[in-house]
Structures are given as C-alpha cells and as structure tokens.
Structure 1
Amino acid sequence: MTPGARLQSAISVLSDIFKSGRPADRVFDTWARSNRYAGSKDRAAVSDLVFTVLRRRAELTAAVGSDDARLLAFAALTLGAEQGVDEVAALADGARHAPEPLSPEEQTALSMAVLPGESAPPWTRFNYPEWLHPEFEAAFGNGLEREMAAFMERAPTDLRVNTLKMKREKALAALTGEGLSAEATPWSPWGLRLTSRGNVLGLATFRDGIVEIQDEGSQLACLLAGAAPGEQVVDLCAGGGGKSLALAAMMKNHGQIYACDTDARRLSGLTPRVRRAGIRNLQTRVLGPFTPDMADKDLAGLASHADCVLVDAPCSGTGAWRRSPGARWSLSPEMLMGYRAAQAEVLTRGARLVRPGGRLVYVTCSLLPSENETQVEAFLAVHPAFTPQPWASNWPEHVPLPPAPHGNWLRLTPASTGTDGFFVAILRREARS
C-alpha cells in the first residue's frame, strides 16, 4: 500500500467507528479481513494512525476545531509526527485509493492547528469526556493529571504463566527460545511482560497452555482472591474465563471452581482453554435472569456453600482505556447507569453463595468511584453480615506489595503500578455465632 492508501484506509476505519459506535478493534479487524492485500506493515501503519486519533481525539478536535474523522487523521500526522502540512497534503492527491485533495478550509485548519496548552481543561489535554471529570477528580484528587496522562500511553502485553505446567523461570526461557524477549512482572509472581513484539497465539508455549495473555492487574486481582486447593470457588461473571483459569491454577486442580456467565457464547470459548491448560477442577454454568426476591434456581446447590465468590462485575472499562482508547468516547451516562444496576445485581446474587466465614471478592476494571467504593458501600449498608477486609492483610507474604494505599480497597492504576486500572474489595461473611 502507498502512504496515501494507508491514510485513506485509516480515515475509512475512523469514519466507521465514529458513525457506528462499534468497538474500534472490531471495526479494524473487519477492515483487515476485507483487505487481505494489506501486509503486516500496512496493517500496523493503519492501526497506529487509527488508535492515535482515538487516544488523542479531544486534543486534536480542539486543535483543528472539528471532530471530522478525515480532518483528525490529517491532524494526527501533522501534529503528532515530524511532518509538515504540505508533506501530508501531498498524500491526498486524489489518486486511486488515496484521499481526495484537501479543501481550502481543511488546509487552513491544519495550517493554524496548535495542540491545547496547560490552560486548557484537563479533559481536553488528557482526552476523556468532560462529563466524567467529577468522577476522576474524586478518585485522584491532586494526582489527576499524572494518572490521566498515564492512560495516554500504550499498554504492554503481559502473560500469565500457568503454574500447573511450568514455573515462571522456565517459561521465560521457553519464550526466549521461540524468539521473544520478556521480563518478570514486578508484582505478580506468575507474570511475564513482553519487551519485543511477536505473535503470541502462534507460539508453542501458548498452544501448549503454558502461558495465557492476561494483564498483570488482572493477575493481582486473582492473587488477592486467595483461591486455595480444596476450596469451592465461584467466578460469577466469568466471560471468556481468564480469571477462572488463574484461580484454577492457584487451586492446583483440587477443589472445584464454577465459571458462570449469562452469555453462553462467551462461556463456550473457555472449554478449549481449560483443556489446553490441563485444568480438571473447573465446570461452566450458563445463568438465566436473576430475581432478588426468588430462589436462584441456576445456583441453588451452591447457596451458602462457596468459600470464595469472585464478582468480576460488568463495568465501564475505564481502567482499560490504554488498550481500548475508543471506549472512552463510546461510553455514555446511560450506559454507566446500566453498569451500576448490573453491579448491584451481581453483588446481591453472589452474596447468597458465600458460606459463613467465606469471602465475596468484588472486582472491576474501572476507576470510577460510583462503580467501586460507592457500589460496595451501598451493598454493605443492606448486607450487614459482610465486613470489608483490608486488602494488604490478605496479600500473600512471599509476594511484594504493590505501591497502593493501604485500606479496605485496592486500586491499581497505570501511573502507580504500570497495570490496567483495577478495583478490588474483599468482603468477608461473618461466621454464625
């Protein structure tokens, strides 16, 4: 592909994302499948421009005074790289597969474009919706700018070593032997962070179930859940099952883990992953609707029997914005309200399963207080049998503590821990007197 064709492809992908509201990675994958002539370098160039625009959308919009996908793509090239307006304009020569020439208005907007300075509002400089600013301000206070700046960076690729099959040191050597370089993650005892690019899914270490792709923050949430051999563990919102696999490895194939979800299609993808990982103590359950004032027929046999219930709740996903920069622009107040309602429901559903003395572990990939602290406090107000446990007191002794404030809740962020953003609360059901 010519540079002009790459630019036009990025414009087409961005236009689809802006108009349809579909997840950016799905739109890009659809484009890639429909344009198989595009080589790996072409796909990388188009992807880089698309996700640069999504990551810096507010800045670029302020710079050119427009939210038009085409103009933002040109602006990303002129403001984010060492290319002049004339050089970028030359790519739009109207040739086959290239963009149409710049209009006089577009030429003027690009010539006068300047990125926002320090006097601009933080939501413009750090690229997030203005309506979410009160939430982030409540979460981070004086540290807001440092925290939001970290979300502008690209996320690393982390792997979790399946300790049922291999220790981390040997897995690292195996990756090296396959041509990838990596290093141990600083906090998770099972984590490896890639320091080179490569097709992980094509590696023997992946096909043989030795490693899984999983952010270190997600690994730490599992670590804090404390699943132990012989326990009865419920992963109530298992989805694709990444955390279920980690919990099962912690249990060393002893005890039982129930991976549950309302989406049968997503849950079905867990079966081959379980087989590949050599896990024998996991079963899946597809859940129907939940009615708080009625018996939960899908989980009746587990009521008050689970040692640990992990509620990896549906949420806004603000903690994963480094990986999904387009998600920050598709989130709406109505969607957030729906997530909050779902969180309250799954907490109530999960609470019924915890045995006296057991624990309910609430996890979100969100940094919004309304989905985290506020949600847990509302649950505790109507479930007095549960008591929050300081996260550090539940941390394994042999694992270094991440740099997070001590208290009842653990909050991980890209700025503080170099992970995706996560919130974890451990709620213990008091034993009967």
Structure 2
Amino acid sequence: MVQSSTSPVNAFHAETSAQKRALSYSNTIHQLFNSVFQQKMPADRIVGEYFRANKKHGSKDRRVIRESLFALFRWWGWLKKVHVSTEQDESWFAVLAVVAELEGHSWSQFSEAWQGFANQSATFKINASTQPMPTVSDKCQFVQQCFAAIVFQEQDLLPQWFWDVTNIDTKHELALIEAMSSRPPIWGRAQKRSAQQLSTELQSDNIDANTCEFFSDSVNLGHKSINLNAIKAYLQGHLEIQDLGSQVIGQICAPKADEQWWDTCSGAGGKTLQLRSLMFNQDDNGSGTIIASDIRKKPLTELMKRAQRAGFNKISTSAWQGDTLPVSAEHFDGVLVDAPCSCTGTWRRNPDMRWLDDVSVVTDKQALQLDILIRSAKAVKLGGQLVYATCSLSPVENEQVVNAFLAQQPQFILQQLSHPFTGQTTDMLTVWPQDADTDGMFVVKMSRKS
C-alpha cells in the first residue's frame, strides 16, 4: 500500500490551476516511487493497486502519473545523482521536469510548473530543451547542461553490476543503452489466421497493427496501451500477446505437426501456445501433442483457459511435484526449457527492476538452471531436440549453464542456428534488444545423439 508522504510539498506555493495539479501529480508520483523501493515490489503492481484503490483519477491523470513514474526509472541512472534525498524538494521537481523533457511528454503546463518549483533553489536552472533529442547521447548532453556540476555518462543508465556480468562488445554498448532506454512496442501473434488478416481486423478497431518482416505470424501493435478485453480478435483466440524476442524461441524449436513436445517451465503458456500454433499451421489435424509443466498450478490453469480460447486441442498439463519427472522419460521429440532467470533482457519493459535488483539476481540461479536442464533432458528421446532459453543477457545464466550441461551430458550436441534478425550463424544465440526492437533473449538447440 502507498504510504502518505511527509515531505514538505506545502512549502511550494501554487498560484494557477496547472501548478496545483502539478503539485498533486508530484505528490502521487513521489509516493508511488518511494513505495516501489520501500516494498521492493514491481512498479506496475504498485501502480495497479494504487489506481484500483483510488478511482478518482481519470484516464488523463493516470497517464501523467504512470508515464512519469516509469520514465523516472528509465532515466534513474542519471537522476539519482540529482535527487539524493527521499523528500519532495527542489531536486525532486527538477528530476520530474527533466524527465518530461527527455520523454517529450505532452503535458508542458505541468512540466513548466515543475521547472518553476525546481528553480526556486539557486542550485537549479531547469529550462525546456530547445533542440530535438533523438539519441541517448543528445539526452545525456541535455542533462549535463541542466546539472553542470555533475558528470553523466550513457553507461550510467544501466547499473554497474549489469556491465560486470554481461559480455558485450564495447562498440555495441551504446546501441544496447539506446534500446534499453526506449519504450518497446507491443508484439503479438496471429493464431488460426494470417498475420495480414489479423492486422486488417485490428486496424478496423483503430489499433496500429502491422505485419512483421521476420516471422509470418507476428504482428506489431505499436506503443499505445490496448484494452485486450475489448478486442474481438483477442477474445476469439486469434491474437496472443508475445514479444518478438520471445517468439524467437518457438521459431527455433520449429515443432513439426506430428511431434510430441514438453514445455518444462511453461508458466501461463505463451510459448506452449506458440508451439501448438506452429504445429496447427502445418496441419490442423496433425497428431502432435504438447505437455506443459510448472511448479505452480495456477499458471497451468490459466494456460488451459488460453488454449480453450484459441480452440487448441492436444495440449495437456502436468505439474512438477518434487524431484520426480512429471512426464515419461525418453519420450519426446522436443523439450523446451525456458528457465527461470534474472530477466535482464526485459528491462526496457520493466525499468524499475534494474534498480530494485542487484547482481545476485544473476548469480544465484545458475545451479537451479543447470539442475532443471539436466532433469528435463531425461525426457528427450534418441534423436530428439532439447532447447534451453532465458530472457537474460548474462553468460552466467546462458553460455556457462549450457557448457556445464554439455560437460556432464556428452550425449547432447549443439546445433547451428541462424539469427532470425541478423542472419549470422551461431550455436549459442543471443537476441539483443537493439536487434529488432525486442526484449533480449538467449536460446540454444541441442540434439540427443546417443
């Protein structure tokens, strides 16, 4: 629950209605921002609970509050050098004003009010940007001009521990920062119809939908928020929301219509549904089946609801219970291990997590990931495929786990993969967010030779 602020916001005098609203927004954003750090809870959950408890906010209010809050986390690597207290003081208004400029927010009447409150201190002189800022480097220069006494670098936008556990060529760092500092589009998949048919239908519902050059069933839904329960195609199961990077994993699996697959860590079943859809596209009467497993039963229940909505049969569930394999050994043509991980590849969608987490979120899962992979491999039949995937960008959770597995399980060998966005050939595929405006992903495909 969001706690009431005890900061001296009343010390700032509001003369106009815009200034009064700016103070009110500031107070709410401040409470939410502090609650995220105090409760160590994801910002979207904190915001959702707040709006459910405070029905007074209209759609415009919610937009100002929500977008300002997430923008604060997006640029916090710089702004935490400015706002070093937990109070609503001039520095707080300074970061709100700067965030509005960095994001190009349309509520200039409020950002101007925040600028005025910030400039009550002789320390600050915040003005609106007079030049376009299309790149992170442009934005860094603007922030440097606003706070000349502080040194800012593009690399500050991701925590230092991330750089310590991520193996990326220096020449690609800026592109990664650029991607991580931008809002990703909403990606979806077409089910039981073509992506072009789905896009046309969605466009008739005033949704900015377009087909994708990389996968024949992918749809880009733009950046605007969508009420899925008001979309006919979604309610009929013809649209599933799934990031393009996540879709890479199913495409690498490439299940055939008559194969038996096991999704070992399915969650609510996004990739299970993708696998079944890829099977269905080849032969809607195919004999292939999918079993989905998870340690939690609630997501498996949700998975079956989604499968029913899509009209997909031949999907079943089997929950993990202790150490016992929940399926038959040496039975499957393909096994997908989408392992629990740090989720650093999804930080652009959850910018708060880069500041809530520390390096342990990467380093403390390797043993679990390897254990799940070894257990799951027992279900692969001779000649079958084993796919390991994470949404992490760290070799600690990716290459190191795979290499440790291969050292213990010599009956499996890596397959060569073609990067779907760059065309490069590799046996350990990392999809970086900048590759195709996606989340970051890692995937390998192994075959059992003996």
Which has the larger displacement, 419-428 or 262-271?
Answer: 262-271
1:35 aligns with 2:35: no
Which has the larger displacement, 173-182 or 347-356?
Answer: 173-182
Match of 1:337 among 349, 355, 363: 363
Give the 3 Å change call, closer, same or farther, for CA 39–65 of structure 1 in structure 2: closer
- Say what the alpha-carbon RMSD is for the aligned residues: 2.5
DSSP 3-state at the match of 1:50: helix
2:168 counterpart residue number: 139
Whether the aligned pair in 1 keeps the contact of 2:211 and 2:220 (CA below 8 Å) is yes
Counterpart CA distance in 1 for 2:289 and 2:205 is: 34
Match of 1:53 among 45, 61, 72: 72
Alignment TM-score, normalising by the size of structure 1: 0.86
Which has the larger displacement, 1-10 or 342-351?
Answer: 1-10
> 1:324 deviation in Å?
0.5
1:306 counterpart residue number: 332
> 1:412 deviation in Å?
1.2
2:31 counterpart residue number: 12
- Residue type of the partner of 1:288? Q
Match of 2:274 among 227, 243, 246: 246
1:375 counterpart residue number: 401
> 1:89 deviation in Å?
6.0
> 1:284 deviation in Å?
1.0
- Residue type of the partner of 1:80? V
Residues 208-227 of structure 1 mapped to structure 2, 5 A cutoff = 208-227=236-255
- Residue type of the partner of 1:143? H
Give the 3 Å change call, closer, same or farther, for CA 369–36 of structure 1 in structure 2: same
Match of 2:294 among 254, 261, 265: 261
Counterpart CA distance in 1 for 2:126 and 2:114 is: 14
Residues 136-285 of structure 1 mapped to structure 2, 5 A cutoff = 136=166, 138-162=167-191, 165-195=192-222, 197=224, 198-252=226-280, 254=286, 255-285=288-318
5+ residue gaps, structure 2, are 1-19, 102-107, 128-141
Match of 1:288 among 307, 310, 321: 321
Give the 3 Å change call, closer, same or farther, for CA 75–269 of structure 1 in structure 2: farther
DSSP 3-state at the match of 2:364: helix
2:132 counterpart residue number: none
Give the 3 Å change call, closer, same or farther, for CA 273–372 of structure 1 in structure 2: same
> 1:103 deviation in Å?
11
> 1:235 deviation in Å?
0.5
2:428 counterpart residue number: 409
Counterpart CA distance in 1 for 2:87 and 2:335 is: 44
Match of 1:76 among 81, 84, 95: 95
Give the 3 Å change call, closer, same or farther, for CA 73–358 of structure 1 in structure 2: farther
- Residue type of the partner of 2:367? A
Q: Encode CA deviations 1:392-419: one digit per residue, 9 max, x unaligned.
A: 2xx8xxxxx4115321022212212221
5+ residue gaps, structure 1, are 92-101, 291-295, 396-400
> 1:275 deviation in Å?
0.5
- Residue type of the partner of 2:412? F
1:99 counterpart residue number: none
Give the 3 Å change call, closer, same or farther, for CA 271–387 of structure 1 in structure 2: same
Counterpart CA distance in 2 for 1:424 and 1:109 is: 49
Give the 3 Å change call, closer, same or farther, for CA 24–85 of structure 1 in structure 2: closer
Counterpart CA distance in 1 for 2:401 and 2:294 is: 21
Q: Encode CA deviations 1:230-270: one digit per residue, 9 max, x unaligned.
A: 11101000001100000011122531101100011222211
Whether the aligned pair in 2 keeps the contact of 1:222 and 1:246 (CA below 8 Å) is yes
Which has the larger displacement, 331-340 or 11-20?
Answer: 331-340
Whether the aligned pair in 1 keeps the contact of 2:335 and 2:380 (CA below 8 Å) is yes
DSSP 3-state at the match of 2:240: strand
Q: Encode CA deviations 1:252-306: one digit per residue, 9 max, x unaligned.
A: 253110110001122221121010000101001111233xxxxx2422xx21111
Alignment TM-score, normalising by the size of structure 2: 0.83
> 1:186 deviation in Å?
2.4
Give the 3 Å change call, closer, same or farther, for CA 160–311 of structure 1 in structure 2: same
Q: State the number of aligned residues.
A: 399
Whether the aligned pair in 2 keeps the contact of 1:182 and 1:196 (CA below 8 Å) is no
Match of 1:323 among 349, 366, 372: 349
1:384 counterpart residue number: 410
